Amino acid sequence: MTGFRPRGSIVQFKWQETPEGREFLGGILHRNKRKSFGLLEAPSLPPQLPVENVSYKIFLTGKPAVGKTSTVAKLLGQEISSYHVETPGIQTSVIYWPAKLKENQKVVMFKLQFWDCGEHAIRKYDHQLPALKEKADAALFLFSFTDRGSFDDLPNQILNSDFTEQEIREFEEQWQVPVLRIANVTGKRLADSRTLDGRAGVMEVAPFLNSLVELLLQRDQVTVSTSAGRKVTRHSAGSRSAAEFKIYI
């Protein structure tokens, strides 16, 4: 795909399954359950685990009831509701994700801030959409593989048949945007049949989150390479407009 390196070229996709990776995952798990973090909270890691912290703000958009809230819930390791309730206003969720880079073998703890807002609130209050976009690093345009209309509803995107692998590849090449996939269904449970299995849930969303952080890193590299000879080694959240970078899932 033009402008993007092959997946797995920057981030070690199977690293979370290694002993080292599982040790870092301990920062987002507690007794096999996912931890919840607020905007000002962070995982607690042993001092012997060196890690670099990188933050991104990401806003979600798409047709009402397409699954924006469910997508975030899936990534957070939470229950997926079978009922649709529109998000009443701006909702922010923080997901921490450790990943290891191939080139320098550094471990990076990504702080992904997902911003979502219901369609009704966006139309009713003029300040909501600008707040979502302000200092955002990327936009996730969501559509459902089971809802043709949700794809046709995306700006400037029109297809007239059911999805095929070839169509997805052609879409990525034509629009120069990556397409990621996630199944918004509740994950495995522990032996008590009630509690969600946090570690299994992490492994289930690992390919998605690894792809997402890798694309964000690539986007930073592209931005740096097109600047006036400036070399940037650390990312500063909110330093660029999300209009420059879109991801479809």
Q: What's residue 222's pLDDT?
A: 58
Q: How many separate domains does the chain show?
A: 1
Taking alpha carbons only, the member of 219, 239, 221 closest to residue 176 is: 219
Q: Which of 56, 65, 109 is nearest to 83 (CA)?
A: 65
Residue 227 lies in a domain: no
Does residue 123 register a pLDDT over 90?
Answer: no
Q: In the predicted model, what is the mean pLDDT of residues 124-135?
A: 77
In a domain, 87, yes or no: yes
Residue 56: its pLDDT value, please? Answer: 94
pLDDT of residue 242 exceeding 60, the answer is: no
| 94-103, 105-114, 123-132: least confidently modelled range | 123-132
110: three-class secondary structure by DSSP: strand
Of 83-97, 167-181, 216-230, which range is least confident? 216-230
Q: Is residue 4 part of a domain?
A: no
Position 7 confidence tier, pLDDT thresholds 50, 70, 90: confident
Q: Which pLDDT score, from 0 to 100, does residue 25 have?
A: 94
Q: What is the DSSP letter of 242?
A: G
Q: What is the mean pLDDT of residues 26-40?
A: 88
At 155, the pLDDT band (50, 70, 90 cuts) reads: very low
What is the CATH classification number for the domain harbouring 82?
A: 3.40.50.300
Q: Is there a domain that residue 192 lies in?
A: no
pLDDT of residue 83: 67
Whether 193 is in a domain gets the answer no
Residue 244 Cα distances to 13, 32, 67, 192, 249, angstroms: 25, 38, 24, 46, 17
Asked if residue 9 is part of any domain, the answer here is: no
Domain membership of residue 130 (yes or no) is yes
Q: Which residues of 157-190 are buried (b: 16+ CB within 10 A; e: fewer)?
A: eeeeeeeeeeeeeebbeeeebbbbebebebbeee
Q: What's the average model confidence in pLDDT over 127-153?
A: 76
Span 166-172, average pLDDT: 70
What span, in angstroms and rounded, lies between the C-alpha atoms of 111 and 138? 13
Q: What is the span of the domain harbouring residue 173? A: 15-40+49-185+200-222+243-248
Kindly state the average pLDDT of the residues 117-127. 72
Q: Taking all residues of the chain, what is their mean pLDDT, rounded to a whole number?
A: 76
Q: How far is CA 153 from CA 119, 142, 148, 150, 222, in A?
A: 13, 10, 9, 5, 29
Structural domain includes residue 7? no
Using only C-alpha atoms, the chain has a radius of gyration, in whole angstroms, of 18
| Contact criterion met (CB below 8 Å) for 151 and 159 | yes
78-81-87 Cα angle (round to 5) = 95
d(CA 150, CA 232): 38
